Chain A
Amino acid sequence: LAKTTQPISMDSYEGQEVNITCSHNNIATNDYITWYQQFPSQGPRFIIQGYKTKVTNEVASLFIPADRKSSTLSLPRVSLSDTAVYYCLVGDMNSGGYQKVTFGTGTKLQVIP
């Protein structure tokens, strides 16, 4: 399993763009990068997944450099409701079926008014 490293916490003001970086130096060829969001007292929620370059959806963008040893989750113009823990997961999606991944400690984002 690829090990991931994220900042433990981040603060941001409302309306700013937030970038959360995850390091995964031992990522394997078949590994994808997936991000989840967890609000207090709720289960995690899938945000976005990518393999390389850039992926964008209605919630966030995911930037993955060519060497894939890190990835950055970008949240545009955050609001107070974006205060949550963000998890970076790295796992193999090409070996058939689900391959076990770990959630790690995540990054606790606090959005300040």
Chain B
Amino acid sequence: DAGVIQSPRHEVTEMGQEVTLRCKPISGHDYLFWYRQTMMRGLELLIYFNNNVPIDDSGMPEDRFSAKMPNASFSTLKIQPSEPRDSAVYFCASSSGDRAYEQYFGPGTRLTVT
């Protein structure tokens, strides 16, 4: 397996624009996680899915953020409208069943909002 795949790897956008981050989890994994990492706040869990269903979105900072998982092999994290304070590295991770804590992280998307 190629591991967790994220795209794009880098995104630079202007304030107010819509940003969509994409993730393909490892095949067969039933958990999918979206994290955000900044120097100030560290690694924060934004939302996670189990069997394509959002389970806990309490980490989503505000209504500008939304995440979907239309099928077992694809998820998106959308920010609309984007703001400079959204600049961060966004990681997607997946894991499986009773080893849900053994998460496999993607390479991340570095988002810069100017």
Residues of A at under 8 Å CB distance from B?
Answer: 32, 34, 38, 41-46, 49, 87, 89, 91, 93, 97-98, 100-106
Shortest distance between the CB of B45 and any CB in chain A (Å): 6
Q: Mark B54-81, 1 if CB is under 8 A from A, else 0.
A: 0110000000000000000000000000
Q: 25 A-B residue contacts at CB 8 Å?
A: A32-B101, A42-B105, A42-B107, A43-B105, A43-B107, A43-B108, A44-B43, A44-B91, A44-B93, A44-B105, A45-B105, A46-B103, A49-B102, A87-B43, A89-B101, A91-B101, A98-B50, A98-B95, A98-B100, A98-B101, A100-B45, A100-B48, A102-B45, A105-B42, A106-B42
Q: Which 6 A-B pairs have the closest CB atoms?
A: A43-B105, A98-B100, A103-B43, A46-B102, A43-B91, A34-B101
Q: Taking A89-B101, A98-B100, A100-B48 as given, write out 11 further A-B residue pairs in contact, using a Cβ cutoff of 8 Å, ordered by the A residue number.
A: A42-B108, A43-B4, A43-B91, A44-B105, A45-B105, A46-B101, A49-B101, A93-B101, A97-B100, A98-B50, A100-B45
Distance between Cα atoms of A105 and B43 in the complex (Å): 8
Distance between Cα atoms of A41 and B102 in the complex (Å): 20
Is A104 touching B102 in the complex (CB atoms < 8 A)? no
Distance between Cα atoms of A32 and B48 in the complex (Å): 19
B25 within 8 A of A: no
Q: What is the total of A-B residue contacts with beta carbons within 8 Å?
A: 52
Cβ contacts under 8 Å, B43 to chain A: 38, 44, 87, 103
Cβ contacts under 8 Å, A105 to chain B: 42
Shortest distance between the CB of B7 and any CB in chain A (Å): 14
Distance between Cα atoms of A47 and B41 in the complex (Å): 23
Shortest distance between the CB of A87 and any CB in chain B (Å): 8
Distance between Cα atoms of A32 and B98 in the complex (Å): 13
